[in-house]
């Protein structure tokens, strides 16, 4: 295959398109499998053009998970191809019904500001729901990477591991402080799973592919430990949950829009679930507020 601007080679037959969300391109003869499709139609058009210039047809799309910045290009790519969409279970429902994402964050029917493209992509079909294991037909493997989303999966092709949002770069960890994970306890397990993995390259969605991700894994683990420790420290005496969230968000000097507040509060509630399930903290409703406190 001739070099094409915007398409970067990782190993033989495995490429990626850099962007706000990196998009994997796995080549098979004169066609390819995409891994995620970016945030919106603009990125979808760019993907279509780059792949076309490489002389390839888009035959499959694999969505690692259902967040808008990973499925936003699906609809326009499907308008311009006959691609088969593959996704993990649970994620498939959100891809086909993306309004579920802001409903989940908001807890009711979301306002218009939570229904814009960052939170809610256009719907697209899912043709095939996969589980963990080898796909002999496509010569690749699906790997469960739980935690960041309901049922996020990665994909391994030619010893290159596309890991979705299982890992965030150091600059984003420092900038945002509280990383978004739907189930932070499972996210920690996934980080240790990556720590034990042995592949030639790893392709995260928000920074460049690397052969060694050990340092970044430690940065992510330390970030999670820091947030958990803050919650434990501030629940020694009972504290309203909203006040606890305010203290933690202030600790990281985060000035949030109302939309982003719902994202961060969802992330922090995952920590609360983790600590409640481990019987480290508990909750009690008093005076119209939910108080959290350490278990004696």
Residue 154: CATH number of its domain: 3.60.15.10
pLDDT the model gives residue 1: 64
- Does residue 66 lie within any of the structural domains? yes
126 and 38 part of one domain:
yes
| Residue 6 three-state SS | coil
CA-to-CA distance for 142 and 116, rounded, in angstroms? 30
Look at residues 241, 240, 144 and name the one whose alpha carbon lies nearest to residue 194.
Answer: 144
CA-to-CA distance for 168 and 180, rounded, in angstroms? 10
253 and 123 part of one domain:
no
- Does residue 245 lie within any of the structural domains? yes
CA-to-CA distance for 240 and 284, rounded, in angstroms? 9
- Does residue 223 lie within any of the structural domains? no
142 and 238 part of one domain:
no
Element (H, E) at 11: strand 8-11
- Does residue 287 lie within any of the structural domains? yes
Is the pTM higher than 0.85? yes
Specify whether the CB–CB gap between 89 and 151 falls below 8 A: yes
State which of 165, 186, 203 marks the end of a domain: 165
Look at residues 189, 214, 190, 212 and name the one whose alpha carbon lies nearest to residue 202.
Answer: 212
Round to the nearest angstrom and report the end-to-end CA distance of the chain. 65
CA-to-CA distance for 259 and 273, rounded, in angstroms? 22
- Does residue 158 lie within any of the structural domains? yes
Q: What are phi and psi of 236, to 5 degrees?
A: -60, -40
State which of 145, 165, 185 marks the end of a domain: 165
Residue whose tokens read 């398109």: 17
Look at residues 120, 132, 31, 131 and name the one whose alpha carbon lies nearest to residue 89.
Answer: 131
Listed as ranges, residues in the chain with pLDDT below 50 are: none
Any long-range contacts for 281-287 (C-beta under 8 Å, 24+ apart)?
281/231, 281/232, 281/235, 283/241, 284/238
Specify whether the CB–CB gap between 62 and 78 falls below 8 A: no
- Domain of 255 in residue numbering reads as 230-294
Q: What is the mean pLDDT of the chain?
A: 97
238 and 161 part of one domain:
no
Q: Read off the DSSP letter of residue 80.
A: T
State which of 165, 186, 207 marks the end of a domain: 165
CATH number of the domain enclosing 268 = 1.10.10.10
Element (H, E) at 191: helix 184-196
- Does residue 224 lie within any of the structural domains? no
- Does residue 202 lie within any of the structural domains? no
Element (H, E) at 264: helix 258-277
> pLDDT digits over 34-66, tens only?
999 999 999 999 999 999 999 999 999 999 999
161 and 234 part of one domain:
no
144 and 273 part of one domain:
no
Specify whether the CB–CB gap between 205 and 186 falls below 8 A: no
Q: How many domains does the chain have?
A: 2
- Does residue 59 lie within any of the structural domains? yes
pLDDT the model gives residue 255: 85
CA-to-CA distance for 218 and 82, rounded, in angstroms? 41
């Amino acid at each position: 295959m001739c070099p094409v601007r915007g398409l970067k080679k990782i190993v033989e037959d495995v490429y990626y398109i850099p962007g706000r969300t990196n998009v994997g391109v796995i080549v098979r003869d004169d066609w390819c499998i995409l891994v995620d499709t970016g945030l919106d139609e603009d990125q979808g058009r760019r993907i279509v053009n780059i792949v076309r210039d490489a002389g390839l047809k888009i035959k499959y799309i694999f969505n690692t998970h259902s967040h808008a910045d990973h499925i936003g290009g699906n609809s326009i790519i499907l308008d311009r191809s006959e691609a088969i969409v593959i996704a993990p279970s649970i994620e498939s429902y959100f891809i086909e019904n993306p309004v579920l994402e802001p409903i989940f964050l908001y807890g009711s029917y979301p306002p218009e500001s939570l229904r814009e493209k960052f939170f809610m992509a256009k719907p697209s079909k899912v043709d095939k729901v996969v589980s963990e294991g080898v796909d002999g037909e496509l010569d690749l493997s699906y790997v469960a990477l739980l935690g960041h989303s309901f049922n996020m999966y990665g994909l391994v092709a030619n010893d290159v591991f596309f890991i979705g949002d299982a890992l965030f770069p150091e600059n984003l960890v420092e900038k945002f402080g509280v990383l978004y994970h739907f189930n932070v306890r499972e996210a920690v397990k996934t980080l240790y799973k990556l720590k034990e993995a042995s592949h030639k390259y790893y392709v995260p969605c928000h920074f460049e592919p690397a052969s060694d991700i050990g340092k970044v894994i430690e940065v992510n683990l330390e970030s999670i430990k820091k947030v958990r420790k803050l919650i434990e420290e501030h629940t020694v005496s009972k504290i309203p949950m909203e006040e606890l969230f305010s203290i933690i968000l202030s600790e990281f000097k985060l000035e949030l829009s109302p939309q982003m507040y719902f994202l961060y509060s969802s992330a922090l509630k995952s920590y609360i679930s983790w600590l409640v399930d481990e019987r480290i903290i508990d909750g009690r409703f008093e005076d119209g507020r939910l108080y959290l406190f350490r278990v004696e």
